A = this chain, B = another copy of it.
């Protein structure tokens, strides 16, 4: 049997895996990347990328409709078959481009199913036969599966999950769709469905949409209001007791005894561990009660030399978090454990009818962490750019520590949030905190300018305080 020797072997070529491989290669390691299915993982094939393409079309449609009679004329609507063809091409192009990008970093791609023989050997069973990879370090990045609900059994035709939702979008949009779960996938899917001609309903157990503490209540409330305005039905504090496929539809019974029939149901209630194809149990790798792999802050598992990143190890299950993990584990595997994971600095982005992006600590989280948080609220109603864009429902919230000026986090709701949040990320990482906004110049009109103007009086107030020693520990800032 062939044996391939390398410094770092990465199992799984999703967003986290390829980021880990590239980072390790950039750090000087000889890297092998093993993937059994399509390169790109959930993110490229079923989630972030196709979703971003479809959400962008839906957003353009929304904007065009906003200006009908206010600068545009004609009529425009979503064309689902064409949109699907477009996103298929985007995904296929990117999937084709990925191996090339890996090649530039001298990363060897191996196709096949991996199984760990011991902490330094991986058996790979692929289309070109079997071989053994010998690696000084191994990074596991095989992701997770959509979490199943026994009461809503997925058949991938009428009842779909996170992996089959996007592929299930077919030439004729389903008339009525129930999204079970009001998290990121639920609010993103409902937006797409509604804009492309379906009638979407979101049902969620909790008291609000997007149950992520970094997303403020105000942002969740705005999102709910806007979803309802475009016709989405939002039912909170409710769950599905049972869903059954009957004929070409799904009969659903809710926890309040009400019933309804939908053409399709999307189960969007998070992710759970995949079956252990890798042989992790045999190696004695410690998992938590839910079955996610346990790691330390360096993302190393209970078995020295083996790292786990992304959804496989639980935690925030976004591509951005997986890529953060990839950078941390890639560097640690190549150079020794120096970098710690820190999800406070990873932005969370939602592409729904109101884009939302958030990073760091919310006011509640900051209080719980012992800070004295102050929140700067910047409504787009007063924003020149937002007025010029006919889109002034959004806002920016910035959370900082009143005593020291340390930047703690922020939440943005509104167009452009997905890029604007990077200014907040940079400030969270800066040793100057809120001060890093001092005397910045912005384009006019711009949202940056609105933010700067709203921060000015806070900066003046801080100027009068002598206490500028930040508390460490929230951000593992290298600066």
Q: Does A78 contact B (CB under 8 A)?
A: yes
From DSSP, what is the main secondary structure of chain A's interface residues?
helix
* A449: min CB distance to chain B, Å: 8
Q: Does A86 contact B (CB under 8 A)?
A: yes
Distance of A385 Cα from B419 Cα, bound (Å): 11
Chain copies in complex: 2
- The residue in chain B whose Cβ has the minimal distance to the Cβ of A447 is B419
Whether the pair B63, A457 counts as a contact (CB closer than 8 A) is no
A419 surroundings in chain B (CB, below 8 A): 416, 419-420, 443, 446-448
A479 surroundings in chain B (CB, below 8 A): 432, 435-436, 438
Distance of A63 Cα from B64 Cα, bound (Å): 9
Q: Most B CB atoms within 10 A — which of A27, A72, A323, A449?
A: A72
A420 surroundings in chain B (CB, below 8 A): 419
- The residue in chain B whose Cβ has the minimal distance to the Cβ of A196 is B71
Whether the pair B77, A347 counts as a contact (CB closer than 8 A) is no
> 19 A-B residue contacts at CB 8 Å?
A26-B456, A26-B457, A48-B444, A52-B385, A53-B387, A60-B63, A60-B67, A72-B83, A74-B77, A75-B75, A75-B76, A76-B76, A87-B388, A323-B444, A349-B444, A419-B446, A426-B426, A429-B436, A436-B479
> Which residues of chain A have a CB within 8 Å of any CB of chain B?
15, 26-27, 43, 48-49, 52-54, 56-57, 60-61, 63-64, 66-67, 69-79, 82-83, 85-87, 90, 93-94, 97, 101, 318-320, 323-324, 327, 339, 345-349, 357, 382, 384-385, 387-390, 416, 418-423, 425-427, 429-430, 432, 435-449, 456-457, 460, 478-479
